[in-house]
Structure 1
Amino acid sequence: MQLEFTEIDPHGPVFESLARPLYRALRPALSDAAFTAFAREGAAQGLVFTAARTPDGRCAALAAHRVLATSRGRVLFVDDLVGDPALRGAGAGGALWEELVRRARLAGCVRVELDSGVTNHGAHRFYHRKRMAVAAFHFSYDLAQDPETT
């Protein structure tokens, strides 16, 4: 599959038409307003949206990522990586992954990192094929369930 990798500005109409449908596949509970707010706030914090686009302009895969300075070195952190469900298995996700690795190297990163939901077994298989290691547990504390705030 021939792809072009482009960054998409979260303030433009192309972003809404290309990114929103893929994010809906990944995060169906995210409302239109919440999606727009997340994208714009994330961009202000350095979040970049990279699309893998087919020659006809279709978004085959999308990644939201940022470079972070950590005590473990500079990392390219992938917030989200999603492929068009209709094109899964065609290589767009893998090609986008290789583009992210290339960008990480150019940015002086020592690693590419991401979190993946514990029940997302399809994604886990993909990440293992890409030679990613399960290097940490990600813990979270839901403030909405905190007895001090209810």
Structure 2
Amino acid sequence: MAGKKLMKIDPAVVEWNYNTEYRHSYAQDSPFFIALGKNKLLGSRCPECGYKYGTYRKYCMYCGAETEDIELPLKGKIHSFTTCYYSGESFRNDVPFTLVLVEFPGIDSLFMSRLYADDTGKIKIGMDIIAKFKKFQDFTVNDVYFVLE
């Protein structure tokens, strides 16, 4: 480094707020999110093969037919669950939280949602749970959650 002088300085650090407004369309899934605001859970049924989906979808994953909307029951059972101790930015302040796969009677697939329980150590597969809805809708999957019945 002949002729050059190495300077020891701290890098300049600048902080500022950066906000972006996003416009997101749920497109064909819109009926599901609108129903949440009416305290209803929508699933789908294939008129061709009869498969009933707990997770809303517009087309059957087995035969490709366009599905029709069905109202899901608000009571179900815990099929499986996990308690999350780490999360991404959106849920960082909520950890630990529990996710459940919900079994509904007469529905062929499962529905994933949050479970609010005071004592996560007492949660068991097969327990009865019931859907609850947020008072003020955000138009996200978090507008519905479950509690132990």
TM interval, shorter chain, is: under 0.3
The structure in which a higher percent of residues are helix is 1
TM-score w.r.t. structure 2 length?
0.23
The structure in which a higher percent of residues are strand is 2
TM-score w.r.t. structure 1 length?
0.23
